[in-house]
Amino acid sequence: MSTHLNPGFADFYQRSIDDRDGFWAEQAELIEWQQKPQQICDYSQPPFAKWFVGGTINLCHNAVDRHLAARADQNALIAISTETNTEKAYSYRELHAEVNRMAAALQALGVQKGDRVQIYMPMIAEACFAMLACVRLGAIHSVVFGGFASGALASRIDDAQPKVIVSADAGSRGGRVVPYKPLLDEALKQSTHQPAAVLMVNRGLAEMPMQAGRDHDWAALRARHLQARIDCVWVESTHPSYTLYTSGTTGKPKGVQRDTGGYTVALAASMPHIFDAQAGQTFFCTSDIGWVVGHSYIIYAPLIAGMATVMYEGLPIRPDAGIWWSIVEKYKVTHMFSAPTAIRVLKKHEAEYLTRYDISSLKALWLAGEPLDEPTAAWISAAIKKPIIDNYWQTETGWPIMTLCNGVEQQATRFGSPGKAVYGYNVKLIDDATGEELTGAQQKGVLAIEGPLPPGCMQTVWRDDNRFVNTYWKSIPGRLIYSTFDWGIRDEDGYYFILGRTDDVINVAGHRLGTREIEESISAHAQIAEVAVVGVADNLKGQAALAFAVVRDASLVADEAACKALEAEVMKLVDSRLGAVARPSRVLFVAALPKTRSGKLLRRALQAVAEGRDPGDLSTMEDPAVLAQVQQRL
């Protein structure tokens, strides 16, 4: 903790930049080391940063073992599935026992320090056990979102080269069972690399054919290791904890490689400073372990902080749109972390579900994963009467780049903004043509971060240092600086506003327009629930903006006259907010937008369909039929 007595956030932030090593040395005191670091940051080979050099650490010890003395009988993991109607809370003592059993099973299958373990699982407790067991052994886990298509899984198997793969018979979504074993078996047929063993969890949801000699049943191995006690393997701070493949990767997968010591410190510090969280409270993050938010804020950060963490399998509207809030009431959830997409889903349902339960325990709702538009933020704020705090980050960073650090100093939310730069991140706005820093308010530039990246951020691309440098550090002329590939502006008070990806910029007759700006305008219309704007090729203007909008009243989509009238209203709204130059060429009303299983809009697929091109690999899409329905509207 900072030795300064209650510094304001501006001072706290500035110290993290000006006295980097002193600041992070203090944060490192939040966790337990076997051996304390000898050097806080080695940045002798930019852009590669080595944090807490000489320190030895174990991530599982910090998440589980160190809490046994003070809170062994407190809830640690609360696993809830509305798909199978199961619910079980594990105390820290019980979680410790299960992780030891899983670690013993993996060890029996040959897993040692430095080995990779691929985890291809639904949102069940065993997935948490597997992740923690890997870092307990000093192994490197590589989680692949459960249900990913075989081709996508095969490419990740070949890149990670796992000693063992941990999987399950099936996942379930909206009552629809998704068998995993056939997908995994097909992926292993396609992949060059073959694991030494496959460990299967049988949920009894689908057939699970086992290959003799390779496949092992978790229940049988668990029974063999019920009393197992596996010592934590202490690793160097710079030892990789995991790799995670960025979504939307094409060609060779891009594995974000994370260290151990820097990540543990960054997450430990984020809980008091960003979330104002304390041991004994309950954190409910609705993400998935297949994504970075799930790694950081379902599994690791809440447990490092000594909190209970809720792991949820199911939809936000099943059995009804009150399910999440019933969990908040039952487990006295203090911190909730979700995504704007989920809130837009809730927006389509009766508002009374949001007030049916006692959510007085809840301090705030944090949202991340995609831009949070102002209308959605205002709607959920009015509905639950709790602070709504946006935050902005990436798979690559592992924790927020921008948000409000209310644990340091209470700051006001500004809808449409993810907040201010977080301590440790030396954020700049850069002119993409000249490489010069833009210091004035309301100047539009590329969001970039001066090196070194703070603790917890990616070390490199797995097995590809050149790709790390060339992809992230060399896109801005004349500067070795990390690009987020997002446009942004900053207001007079230091609040940032994200204007969309640099590669989502539309050039309309020489005017550069961010898709986010147009989407914000359209979504302000009362009848629009969600919108995606893409740039499509236009013979006259180079590109034209094309909008796909989901209406709150689905029946309107079939009414051509009503659609035309609404389209005219939306055009007029964009004109009034941004000017005629930003007006889309068309606004097409659809029942749903194509998304990945994590809820990210597939804008490139929309653009390809609009231009009559092949949309490419759709293995990450939640429902391929949605794209076909969109196509019919063109």
Quote the CA–CA distance of 116 and 114 in Å, as a whole number: 6
Which candidate, 313, 258, 399, 419, places its Cα nearest to that of 78? 313
Tell me: cis bond preceding 387? Omega within 30 of 0 counts. no
Which candidate, 123, 64, 145, 89, places its Cα nearest to that of 298? 123
Residues 593, 457: one domain?
Answer: no
Flag whether 418 is in a domain. Answer: yes
Distance of CA 29 to the CA centre of its chain: 26
Flag whether 344 is in a domain. Answer: no
Flag whether 351 is in a domain. Answer: no
CA distances from 495 to 14, 109, 392, 415, 531 (A): 15, 50, 12, 10, 24
Flag whether 47 is in a domain. Answer: yes
Angle at 485 (CA atoms; ends 481, 490), nearest 5 degrees: 85
Other C-beta atoms closer than 10 Å to the C-beta of 34 total 12
CA distances from 268 to 10, 39, 59, 311, 424 (A): 21, 19, 11, 19, 14
Residue type, 4: H
Residues 548, 467: one domain?
Answer: no
Residue type, 532: A
Query: Dihedral through CA 375, CA 378, CA 382, CA 383, nearest 10?
Result: 50
Residues 526, 479: one domain?
Answer: no
Kindly state the tokens that stand for 498: 């994200």
Kindly state the tokens that stand for 377: 């933020």
- Report the interhelical angle of 624-633 vs 603-610 (nearest 10°): 40
Residues 461, 530: one domain?
Answer: no
- Range of the structural domain that residue 229 is part of: 9-314+391-484
Residues 535, 474: one domain?
Answer: no
Place of tokens 């599935």: 81
Flag whether 457 is in a domain. Answer: yes
H/E element, 536? strand 528-538
Kindly state the tokens that stand for 585: 């060429």
For position 620, which CATH number holds? 3.30.300.30
Residue type, 179: P
Place of tokens 């690999």: 617
Residues 543, 617: one domain?
Answer: yes
Residues 567, 479: one domain?
Answer: no
Residue-level pLDDT at 141 = 98
Quote the CA–CA distance of 597 and 176 in Å, as a whole number: 14
Residues 565, 474: one domain?
Answer: no
Residues 307, 193: one domain?
Answer: yes
Flag whether 500 is in a domain. Answer: no
Residue-level pLDDT at 149 = 81
Place of tokens 């704020």: 381
The pairs formed by 258-261 with CB atoms below 8 angstroms and a separation of 24 or more are: 258/398, 258/456, 258/458, 258/459, 259/51, 259/455, 259/456, 259/459, 260/57, 260/58, 260/59, 260/135, 260/235, 260/236, 261/28, 261/33, 261/37, 261/51, 261/52, 261/55, 261/57, 261/236, 261/237, 261/455
For position 454, which CATH number holds? 3.40.50.12780
Residue-level pLDDT at 599 = 74
Number of domains in the chain: 2
Q: What is the DSSP string of 369-386?
A: SS---HHHHHHHHHHH-S
Residues 424, 570: one domain?
Answer: no
Which candidate, 593, 607, 624, 606, places its Cα nearest to that of 531? 593
Q: What is the DSSP string of 465-499?
A: HHHHHHHHTSSSTT---EEEEEEEEE-TTS-EEEE
Flag whether 266 is in a domain. Answer: yes
Mean pLDDT for each consecutive 10-residue tract of the chain (634 residues)?
Answer: 60 98 98 98 98 98 98 98 98 98 98 98 98 98 88 92 98 94 96 98 97 97 98 98 73 87 98 98 96 96 98 96 97 96 88 93 93 88 95 95 97 94 98 93 96 98 96 92 95 92 70 78 92 85 88 89 94 84 90 82 86 79 82 83
Residues 472, 558: one domain?
Answer: no
Q: What is the DSSP string of 496-535?
A: EEEEEEGGGEEEETTEEEEHHHHHHHHHTSTTEEEEEEEE
- Tell me which of 469, 484, 499 is where a domain ends: 484
Instruction: Mention every residue, 6+ apart, whose C-beta is less than 8 A from residue 18.
Output: none
Residues 67, 112: one domain?
Answer: yes
Paired residues of 595 in beta bridges? 601
Quote the CA–CA distance of 138 and 414 in Å, as a whole number: 42
Flag whether 327 is in a domain. Answer: no
Paired residues of 312 in beta bridges? 80
Residue-level pLDDT at 246 = 81
| 3-class DSSP string for 397-438 | CCCCCEECCCCCCCCCCCCCCCEEECCCCCEEEECCCCCCEC
Residue-level pLDDT at 2 = 37
Which candidate, 292, 244, 296, places its Cα nearest to that of 269? 296
Going by the DSSP 8-state scheme, the letter that residue 595 receives in this structure is B
